[in-house]
């Protein structure tokens, strides 16, 4: 699950998608992610799905281009590869809350 | 909770135990100490663990704080905007109160200006304290959850009751307390991951019960005699032990979750199972998630790990359901199935 703290929308990701997100969190590049995916069992015919997943992360601003280099994570692993999936939930979390303990708006009694 | 107060002319110090947090508050106006006492004394569930102490100074200020100084990037509440600036929570309300809470030092200062809307101003300062406590609980490793809970007779696992205020969490809880079930409370719970399981702890053992509930539960007559919860609702603050003795617990392990909904339909009870994602969704909506990733992450993690261990259901309670003799039995059966 990914929660966008700016928009309060959340997203479900499958195991392969989560591994890719963790790679990017550590500063991996697109080509490093493609290479890691191959190690996890992805074939060449999975590249369009991986690229579409990355493009979706960019479109939702969950990922933004950065300059410089960072050490990509080597501890991320996927035991059973499936094409990565990101699915946006319809309803975001509340943006304005009653109190710091109560996120909901009270219903009329 | 324990509270002590030692008035000396205008200055006064009060000490409150609020679950895992101890508040030491110095007021420069004793009137404020009196006004805040109902809020801060409600956290009356016993805690025997060491407390994280927070020192708070509440002072009068000559001029109101500038509401536009904060953007609400950390939290936007109905009565406050909150930013996190250099490990300090800065919260300002539209009536000009300002809290500056140093998270590293565990010290807060609340400045309260002169204001013609005194009742509104007190509510604003109350919200400053709720914010302070919610962060202090989270810093102590607990996740504040706006949910009630029910534990069946003879069991130790609880069902979390999730819904916005006014949806009937307390009424539903009351319907089962009178059948021997127990509870941690009707809307304030703390969660913590311990050795791979979630522990739920009680914060407040007082219910907020609408006087109308006396129609359904004859033993709860005279509800109108209890103090009013706030000027915005008819609900009363009720000591649950006075009505249903022996029903309070301090700790439990969540095993189920119910999303409570009120319905105008005549069907007394509708139960729809929730999958894990839906259960997580419902649970997370009962947690205030701030806009700072390092503060949000432990709260969301706790919700995700807890939800993965819960069996969830949406329970829709129909109009006048509590008047039907067989309703409580059907409800009991539906809830027990979540812990089976």
Model confidence pLDDT, tens digit, residues B253-299: 999 999 999 998 888 899 999 999 999 999 999 999 999 999 999 99
Let me know whether B122 and B15 are in one domain. yes
Secondary structure (3-state) at B315: strand
Q: Between chains, do B78 and A107 touch, taking CB under 8 Å as contact?
A: no
Q: Are A85 and A14 in contact (CB under 8 A)?
A: yes
Nearest CB to A107 within list B167, B287, B289 = B167
In this prediction the ipTM stands at 0.87
SS3 content of chain B, % helix, strand, coil (to 5): 30, 35, 35
Secondary structure (3-state) at B224: helix
Let me know whether B148 and B136 are in one domain. no
What token pair was written down for A34?
A: 């493609």
Question: Of chain B residues 68-107, which have a CB less than 8 A from chain A?
Answer: 75-79, 82
Q: How far is CA B245 from CA A2, B48, B180, B240, in A?
A: 44, 22, 10, 7
Is residue A54, in this structure, part of any structural domain at all?
yes
Q: How far apart are CA A9 and CA B278, in angstroms?
A: 15
Number of separate domains in chain B: 2
Domain hosting A54: range is 2-88
Task: Count chain A–chain B contacts defined by CB atoms under 8 A.
Answer: 91
pTM above 0.95, yes or no: no
Q: Are B229 and B235 in contact (CB under 8 A)?
A: yes
What token pair was written down for B238?
A: 């009720």
Let me know whether B196 and B211 are in one domain. yes
Q: Which of A1, A8, A99, A106 to mutate to test the interface with B (most CBs of B within 10 A)?
A: A99
Nearest CB to B293 within list A5, A105, A107 = A5
B188 at A interface, C-beta within 8 A = yes
Model confidence pLDDT, tens digit, residues B214-257: 888 989 888 889 988 877 788 899 999 999 999 999 999 999 99
| DSSP classification of residue A63 | S
Q: Between chains, do A3 and B300 touch, taking CB under 8 Å as contact?
A: yes
**CATH number, domain containing residue B229:** 3.40.50.300
Domain hosting B216: range is 144-339
Mean pLDDT by runs of 10 across the 109 residues of chain A is 91 94 90 92 95 96 81 76 94 90 69
Let me know whether B27 and B77 are in one domain. yes
Answer whether residue B63 shows pLDDT above 50. Answer: yes
Q: How far apart are CA B95 and CA B100, in angstroms?
A: 16
Q: Which of B87, B106, B140 is the last residue of a domain?
A: B140
Let me know whether B183 and B121 are in one domain. no
Question: Of chain A residues 32-91, which have a CB less than 8 A from chain B?
Answer: 89
Bridge partners, A28 (sequence order): none
């Amino acid at each position: 699950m990914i929660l966008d703290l700016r928009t309060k929308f959340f997203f479900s990701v499958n195991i392969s998608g989560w591994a890719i997100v963790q790679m990017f969190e550590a500063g991996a590049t697109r080509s490093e992610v493609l290479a890691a995916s191959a190690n996890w069992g992805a074939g060449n015919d999975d590249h369009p799905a991986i690229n579409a997943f990355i493009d979706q992360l960019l479109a939702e601003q969950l990922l933004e281009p950065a300059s410089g280099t960072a050490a990509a994570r080597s501890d991320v692993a996927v035991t059973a590869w499936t094409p990565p999936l990101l699915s946006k939930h319809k309803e975001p979390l509340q943006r304005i809350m009653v109190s710091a303990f109560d996120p909901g708006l009270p219903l009329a009694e | 909770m324990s509270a002590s107060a030692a008035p000396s002319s205008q200055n006064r110090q009060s000490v409150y135990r609020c679950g895992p947090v101890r508040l030491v508050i110095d007021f420069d106006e004793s009137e404020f100490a009196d006004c805040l006492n109902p809020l801060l004394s409600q956290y009356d569930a016993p805690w025997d663990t060491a407390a994280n102490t927070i020192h708070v100074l509440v002072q009068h200020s000559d001029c109101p704080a500038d509401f536009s100084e904060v953007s609400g990037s950390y939290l936007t509440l109905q009565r406050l905007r909150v930013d996190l600036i250099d490990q300090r929570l800065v919260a300002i309300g539209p009536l000009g109160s300002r809290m500056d809470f140093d998270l590293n030092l565990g010290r807060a200062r609340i400045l309260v200006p002169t204001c013609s809307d005194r009742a509104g101003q007190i509510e604003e300062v109350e919200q400053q304290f709720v914010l302070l406590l919610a962060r202090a609980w989270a810093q102590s490793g607990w996740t504040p959850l706006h949910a009630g809970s029910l534990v069946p007779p003879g069991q130790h696992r609880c069902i979390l009751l999730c819904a916005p205020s006014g949806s009937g969490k307390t009424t539903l809880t009351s319907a089962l307390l009178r059948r021997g079930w127990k509870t941690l409370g009707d809307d304030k719970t703390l969660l913590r991951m311990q050795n791979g399981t979630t522990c739920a702890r009680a914060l407040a053992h007082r219910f907020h019960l609408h006087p109308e509930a006396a129609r359904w539960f004859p033993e709860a007559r005279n509800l109108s005699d209890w103090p009013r919860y706030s000027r915005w609702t008819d609900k009363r603050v009720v000591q649950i032990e006075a009505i249903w003795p022996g029903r309070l617990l301090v700790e439990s392990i969540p095993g189920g979750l119910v999303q409570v909904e009120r319905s105008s339909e005549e069907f007394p009870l509708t139960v729809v199972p929730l999958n894990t994602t839906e259960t997580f969704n419902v649970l997370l909506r009962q947690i205030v998630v701030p806009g700072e990733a390092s503060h949000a992450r432990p709260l969301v993690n706790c919700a995700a790990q807890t939800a993965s261990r819960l069996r969830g259901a949406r329970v829709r309670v129909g109009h006048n359901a509590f008047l039907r003799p067989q309703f409580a039995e059907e409800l009991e059966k539906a809830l027990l199935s979540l812990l089976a």
